[in-house]
Chain A
Amino acid sequence: MNSLVRRSYFLTKVVKNVNDCAKRFSSHFIYYPDQHKPDDGQTTKMNMMQAINNAMDLTLSSDPTALLFGEDVAFGGVFRCALGLQEKYGKDRVFNTPLCEQGIAGFGIGLAAAGATAIAEIQFADYIFPAFDQLVNEAAKARYRSGGQWDCGALTVRAPCGAVGHGGLYHSQSPEAFFAHAPGLKVVVPRGPIAAKGLLLSCIREPDPCIFLEPKILYRSATEEVPNIDYMLPLGKAQILREGDALTMIAWGTQVHVLLEVAEMASEKLGVHCEVIDLMSILPWDEETVCNSVKKTGRVLISHEAPLTCGFGAEIAATIQEECFLHLEAPVTRVTGWDAPFPHVFEPYYLPDKWRCYHALTQLINY
């Protein structure tokens, strides 16, 4: 009996030791729940996966033409976003496709062209590239090339994106900038459950094809009181999450939370007030909100997980210098992923975390 107790004590010590010393890096941000309530009515506590599920549930129940399809969505999806929807709406409305992204995108375009509402899921944004041709050459150009006779506006392509702690090269990418160069597409990234529900419902109903990139690390880690009603958030509009006068900080998706923490640090340590903007829509993007903020603060920091060169930060920076040239007090600064593929064990050094952003902030303030 005595030896058993001793052995279990020893085991506990080993496990504790493992937990203390060899803990895998898993989170580079603190989640800041949404202060923007699009509705004052009843709410339900949901994480982002549940909010997305709720948006699709509302769509399937209100729009009889709506269909949800992709790889492994029938059993609920590998991230559980489609959980319970096949049981509720039937196998002809929520179904698996063969494992072929170009087929999923093309199939969705055809559904939309024939009058159905198509919600296509690409399992990871990293695997959207086989569908690049269908999305860029076909979906984006369908209305334009036919003179408005045909379109696939009822298509929404959902894809989990962004860093997740251990995703390596092909479960971590943020491909928004590739699509931002394709006139005709709308590209949207939510920062949490409330935004995800409202933006996804907008994407689904928008008469243009939308790419909805879901930061997968938020699926379970982000929880908020999400309004129960069917509501939409406008596309092409950014939100100012924190007002300030010293510096404008712009991000989208998970990186918004990194910048919110950096703004907090700047307030505590430096006593400066930073304005934090969630861009939300990458294409078309809200130049007005961004430029008005920069004209007020004179300094700007843009941050995204994707690599620096030709990342969407470049487009924002160029526009700001063009529109706000006489207001700028310091160079437009970008803090982003490095110009390398997204690495596995080096993820903590790769991401534009709060320390890198804070360092850039101090340089901007002291310029």
Chain B
Amino acid sequence: AKNADFPGARAPYTGEIKFLDENSYEPIPIYRVLDNNGKAADKSHEPVLDREALRHMYKTMTQLNQMDKILYESQRQGRISFYMTNYGEEGIHIGSAAALDPKDLVYAQYREVGVLLYRGMTVQELVDQCYGNHRDPGKGRQMPVHYGCKRRSVVTISSPLGTQMPQAVGSAYAYKRRAGNENCVICYFGEGAASEGDAHAAFNFAATLSCPIVFLCRNNGYAISTPSNEQYRGDGIAARGPAMGLRTLRVDGTDTLAVYNAVKQARHIAVSENKPILVEAMCYRVGHHSTSDDSSAYRSLDEIAKWTKDESPIQKMKLYLEQKGHWDDKADNEWLKEARNNVLLSIQEAEKQKKPNWREMLEDVYYDMPPRIHLCTT
């Protein structure tokens, strides 16, 4: 039928009153490559990654896991003030990071430290930030896990949720205008943060201003204690994508290879067409929200157990590597020991370091220190 002439939408008239709701559309399916046994159902979807690349991905996931275990304990012992683990979401970090160009700009929420590890940030650098010692480039000003690294194109994390989203769009617009641009911006956020007004702003600005950005939503089912059915009533975050003019894909976030394929294609579209993409990675937050949270207060241990065994991204990746002949139990044991030592030695080293000079408390508020602040340092 011919569309009506209203400027606000291209649509035909209808004689029928038909309200649409969340059930008016089929739920958006979840793209996966590996099953729970680490087998690729469709070989043609196995990414072209060599033995070393795949091993590196797995080793980074497990290094992250070891770091989480030890730093979580170190918080419990009162050595660091705060920590947030990444259990169950390692596949999203490593799958997406591997699909990106190292120069693509990363805006993260706080549960994406695997991306930084994959970018080459050392365990020592991360631990130094958590201890806020003088080697922390952030000068010990922010809480633990608020990492950032200009050299590796990772924008420093801040606590306010969703704020990074319209910022990432602005950076993507700046990238688009650079001559011969070959990079995009990736913006990570949780499904809870997607309820913030900034998320709406970001999707809309990215679409109307045609920005080369990949929005990657980690939908892990919970925002602290709030389950996703108290967060939204539509078909997750992905269903908002097409409504805002974003190309959208939903992916199994426990499947590192599926995330890799999704982000690889998303980044290609973003860079070559200056189009924003939304990827919703379904996963489960296996750990507590943070060290200040006991998640058994609002969910059952049985529920958690399912996701630590059958649906573990690390386990799936390990089974895949074993089937390929790239990995075995011996290599695994040796590596886990090494990964554990990396963290323990880093903690010993970080604890030896002094805190920054107290004057750093007043530096960097402005580019130049105004007289009133300067007065406080003398």
Contacts of B146 in A (CB 8 A): 145
With A97-B205, A284-B372 as given contacts, are A113 and B138 in contact (CB-CB < 8 Å)?
Answer: no
* B170 A148 Cβ-Cβ under 8 A: no
Determine whether the beta carbon of A103 is less than 8 Å from that of B139: no
Asked if B149 contacts A149 (CB within 8 A), the reply is: yes
Q: Are B205 and A100 in contact (CB under 8 A)?
A: yes
B144 lies within 8 A of chain A by Cβ: no
Closest to B142 in A: A145
Chain A neighbourhood of B200, CB < 8 A? 100
Contact indicator B366/A143 (Cβ below 8 Å) = yes
A153 / chain B contacts, CB cutoff of 8 Å: 367
Query: Is B91 an interface position by the 8 A CB rule?
Result: no
A134 in contact with B158 (CB, 8 Å): no
Does A150 count as interface, using CB distance less than 8 angstroms?
A: yes
A138's partner among B160, B208, B366 (CB-CB below 8 A) is B160
A306 in the interface (beta carbon within 8 A): no
Stretch from A8-16, A104-112, A161-169, A345-353 contacting the other chain: A104-112
Q: Contact partner of B156 among A67, A103, A107, A150, CB < 8 A? A: A150
Residue of B nearest to A283 (CB): B370
Residues A145 and B170 in contact in the complex (CB < 8 Å), given A100-B204, A106-B198, A207-B367: no
* CB <8 Å contact, B170 and A111: yes
Is the CB of A130 closer than 8 A to any CB of chain B?
A: yes
- Tell me which residues from 102 to 154 in chain B have a Cβ below 8 Å from any Cβ of chain A: 105, 107, 136-139, 141-142, 146, 148-150
The minimal Cβ–Cβ distance linking A255 to chain B, given in whole angstroms, is: 23
Given known contacts A146-B155, A147-B139, A150-B156, what 9 new A-B pairs fall within 8 Å (CB)? Answer: A110-B169, A110-B171, A114-B175, A115-B174, A134-B198, A143-B364, A147-B364, A149-B156, A287-B371
Indicate if B305 sits at the interface (CB-CB under 8 A): no
Q: In chain B, residues 187-240, which have Cβ atoms closer than 8 Å to a Cβ of chain A? A: 197-198, 200-202, 204-205, 208-209
Closest 10 CB pairs of A and B: A110-B170, A106-B166, A103-B201, A110-B167, A146-B156, A114-B174, A284-B370, A207-B367, A114-B171, A107-B170
Can you give 19 contacting A-B residue pairs, CB < 8 Å?
A97-B209, A98-B201, A102-B201, A106-B169, A107-B201, A108-B170, A110-B173, A111-B171, A116-B173, A116-B177, A118-B170, A142-B156, A147-B136, A149-B150, A150-B150, A150-B156, A151-B367, A287-B371, A288-B371
Question: Is A40 positioned at the interface, with any CB of B under 8 Å from its CB?
Answer: no
Interface: A268 (CB within 8 A): no
Q: Which residues of the partner chain A approach B168 to less than 8 Å between Cβ atoms? A: 110
- Is A138's CB under 8 angstroms from B138's CB? no
Question: A residues engaging B (CB < 8 A)?
Answer: 65, 67, 92, 95, 97-98, 100, 102-103, 105-116, 118, 130, 133-134, 137-138, 141-151, 153, 183-184, 186, 206-208, 236, 284, 287-288
For the complex, is B63 an interface residue (Cβ under 8 Å from A)?
A: no
Residues A103 and B160 in contact in the complex (CB < 8 Å), given A287-B371, A287-B372: no
Give the shortest distance, in Å, between B168 (CB) and chain A (any CB).
6
In the assembled complex, B365 has its CB within 8 A of some CB on chain A: yes
**B172 within 8 A of partner (CB):** yes
A149 to B174, CA, bound (A): 18
Is the CB–CB distance between A111 and B201 below 8 Å?
Answer: no
Distance in angstroms from B119 CB to nearest chain A CB is 14
Taken together as a complex, chains A and B put the C-alpha atoms of A144 and B205 apart, in Å, by: 27
Min distance, Cβ A276 to any Cβ of chain B, angstroms: 23
Q: Which residue of chain A has the shortest Cβ distance to B170 in the bound complex?
A: A110
